[in-house]
Structure 1
């Protein structure tokens, strides 16, 4: 016998009376991400869904929507908070209009050298707690982060270091990144991701901040732009899993533990796959005439200094932004990336 109890939204918590009289609880979640199913992130998300199903013995079912197929990517967080969905697996950067603090959940811009350092901040450095002080008033609970690695700039001209950024006209996403690069002499141009290839081909831009080395290869960017940075130094965007708080707290503790564990495994898989696929691209690109630039420690430090100057401005915008920026600063100093 089954007794269904619909929570405030799409999630369904069902109590199943077994033959022996025990009560088993099942959970159904509707989650949207902004990744394509065939992408690296899309593939590990599919594994996450399967892992949750298997570990729960079928008691947790996830209906996963790819490529922002229910609502636009920027609307996913609100769709989850309002009950259209249950959870958001997109990116906190879409919510900077609500509060600039979301920028520092999505991408610290020059804050960390590796995805593992960022994950350490989230999981053992107080990040989860400070993020939830931002998310909880929105009716959402942050579950975890998924971050592949540093992104690589691509260019039709050399990018040896900071000096080569002068008058470098490149595609940039909006927000803090444009401010940082402009302060270093570059000329960032905000344009949609889909316009990059044509803009490079026609010479509207000299280069682009698109994605990781491997993703740039998949986009065909290096057919035109024969210069790239690797390892990346500037941007390392992190997607989140965030669920509506009443849905999350209404789930059995065991179900929450399964989802948290499966998501951490997914995050580790994403880091490993990104490492491998970037390595394969690094091996093959020189044969295609692409020059790869590994910026010096001094140039990386100069970029981080410029980034943290921008951090100061963004930290002044709201108390929440100030709190999360300070949390990052403290952790960066703790692990020896700065001398604070």
Structure 2
């Protein structure tokens, strides 16, 4: 992020939090303020959905009620796969999405959602968004569709679950696995026969032996789904998805109609929720790893040296996946930061 852009972001944040004139304007509009609907990725009552509800409440608080967002669980307004087109068409104003779902059509989205073997720490990935121009690149990826990328929610790894022990990266070679997005391409380059199964089919595919290793969701969510019953090995870190970014995305026409305070409130609330959810997941992971062990699951920690060597190999996979100018610029900026951080 350039110095001028950083100053602009800080001005917006300060306006949302402190400027009396803007807050007065918000009070004047509160009675007949702007009302949005947002469809999230998650099911009702789940931990991530609770945080989406907190995001909406925080936006209302920061704008003194001038912008009210009603959150809906995944699939409540339209099927999740149709949310992109629905928001673009104005059926509702905002979605919480995972860019990896649209990486097939927009190659850059493979890099704004997760980078297999990439940033091992979510703070590093979030720093790329806010300090190395990732936010602007993500916005560029959505603009042609009439959509505005607001901000990411960045959190940590999603583990691999396996019916066979995987103690080295080389052990992946020849296995049948479920991965999606950029991870499908990268894991394929490491010898996995990839099937991009829907999330809902992961349990049964492991149970029936159709696959031997799988990505699904975070540690807690996978336990609640019962994967400890069908996969007796949990592999850490989740090299296919070491850090994760989901995205707040709005219809551009609706977003442009907001005032500066409302736009700033969206940015500030999103940044706050990103940190809060990440901290919740850190604590939750420790609690649920113990539950996996109690259920007879062996937790395997991969060798950091093995992962570092594989990361250098994965760069070639990233380059192959960057098939247009924007995805190439996004990938190269991430590689540059990883080199500065001595990850490559």
TM-score, scaled relative to structure 2: 0.86
Report how far residue 176 of structure 1 moved.
Answer: 3.0
For residues 114 and 333 of structure 1, the distance between their equivalents in structure 2, rounded to whole angstroms, comes to: 14
Contact 2:115 2:182 in 1 (8 A): no
> Distance in 2 between the 1:168 and 1:302 partners?
20
More helix by share: 2
Offset of 1:179 from its aligned partner? 2.6
Give me the whole-angstrom Cα distance separating, in 2, the residues matched to 1:46 and 1:62.
9
How far the C-alpha of 1:163 sits from its partner, in A, is 2.4
* Aligned equivalents of 2:281, 2:202: Cα separation in 1: 22
Q: Does 1:107 align with 2:114?
A: yes
CA distance in 1, matches of 2:278, 2:138: 21
SS at the partner of 1:109? Answer: coil
Detail structure 1 runs of 4+ shifted over 4 Å in the superposition: 20-25
Q: Could you say which residue in structure 2 is the equivalent of 1:213?
A: 219
RMSD: 2.2
Q: In the TM superposition, what are the counterparts of 1:2-13 in structure 2 within 5 Å? A: none
Instruction: Tell me what 1:119 maps to.
Output: 126
Q: 1:231 aligns with which of 205, 224, 237?
A: 237
Q: Matched residue of 1:238: which SS?
A: strand
Q: 2:74 maps to which residue?
A: 67
Separation (CA, whole Å) in 1 of partners of 2:84 and 2:90: 10
Whether the 8 Å contact between 2:186 and 2:318 is mirrored in structure 1 is no
Which structure 1 segments of 5+ residues have no match?
Answer: 1-16
Q: Cα distance, 1:198 vs. partner?
A: 1.3
**1:246-285 CA distance string (max 9 Å, x none):** 2222211111111211111111111111111111112232
Q: Could you tell me how far 1:113 is from its partner in structure 2?
A: 0.3
Instruction: Tell whether the 8 Å contact from 1:171 to 1:207 is kept in structure 2 after alignment.
Output: yes
Which of 260, 281, 293 in structure 1 is aligned with 2:288?
281
**Aligned position for 1:253:** 260
User: In the alignment, which residue of structure 2 is the partner of 1:311?
Assistant: 318
Structure 2: gaps spanning 5 or more residues: 1-23
1:201 aligns with 2:207: yes
TM-score (normalizing by structure 1): 0.87
**How far is the alpha carbon of 1:88 from its aligned partner?**
2.0
In 1, distance between residues paired with 2:100 and 2:309? 24
Q: Say which SS state the counterpart of residue 39 (structure 2) adopts.
A: strand
